[in-house]
Structure 1
Amino acid sequence: PSEKPVASKAKPVAEKPKLPATGNGFSAYNSLQFKYSILIDVAVEELTNVKLLQFMDDWYGTKYRFGGSSRDGIDCSAFSGSLLLNVFGLQIPRIAKDQYTACKRIKREDLEAGDLVFFHTTRRGISHVGVYLANGKFIHASTNYGVTISNLDDGYYAKAFVAGGRPRSAYVPQSLGN
């Protein structure tokens, strides 16, 4: 019997699932939970904030571009502002030092998911910002690696860390859950 070659065509991806799958199968959401539980070092069950997971995954690996605010390139303050707006519904200033001014200081040990973390990486004061996740991990637009997850304990960030910040408004910090 002659076999016909099977042509594989990529099918357009439908809207990402918003709820976890039931049963034994994995959904895209379950995959995001698993991926980020490893990167953040938390239990899979703790990652229930679908908006946060999808936002991080959509932007992860986007290159850094000073002054950028698109997937063609984004800087740290545009990324943190976009994450807070799209995930937590909070609008903050565009520039890292202005974001710092707009925040109540939070000690490192009191940081919660959605809080900002500020760094002094130049001689001009606050010059870098990221969004805290959990376990000392934060997501940010790094000049070298683009949008990535880093650890506050890493030498460079430990030395440059200034403070955590929680925007002064009706904003309530979130857990990695809803």
Structure 2
Amino acid sequence: MVFRGEVRSVGELLAASLVEPGPVLATDVGVRHTAAGNAKACRNLLAEGEGLDACWRFGVLQTLDDYTSTLRRGGPGLAAGVFVDEPELTGAGEADAAFAALADHLAERDGWSPPVWALDPARRTTAWYPSVPAIFRADADRESPRAFRQRGIFLTARSLFRA
């Protein structure tokens, strides 16, 4: 197949970016996936014998991905909707604390109020280092964002980086 489109110079592209309107946020789509739904999936994984690492990846980090996608599509007001419904407890205090920490962290970062359930003092754990190898735990002790650290979860600065 041969490319038949228009090849524009960098200068033309820059000029067009100043004239053409930016993308319109699609707030009419709504929230597709929520922390509550991902916590339920996490609870199911744990019931099937999977460990906390699977819950971290397929529950908490999936929620981060869902939030980021919704944020790009509709801005912080819409993205906050990912955390509106309180996730049921998963059966693992570490995961429950992580969902609360993620909501609190993203609210602080993006300028919206965290949901009341995320501030529940019962959603805490003791010194959990999800997917942090022992060699990087000193880094996690130093670098963990406030919302996670206050709940007993320690992450490196890279832990929440997503593609």
TM-score (norm 2): 0.29
Q: Larger % of strand: which? A: 1
The structure number with the bigger radius of gyration is 2
Q: Larger % of helix: which? A: 2
Relative contact order, higher structure (CA 8 A, sep 6+): 1
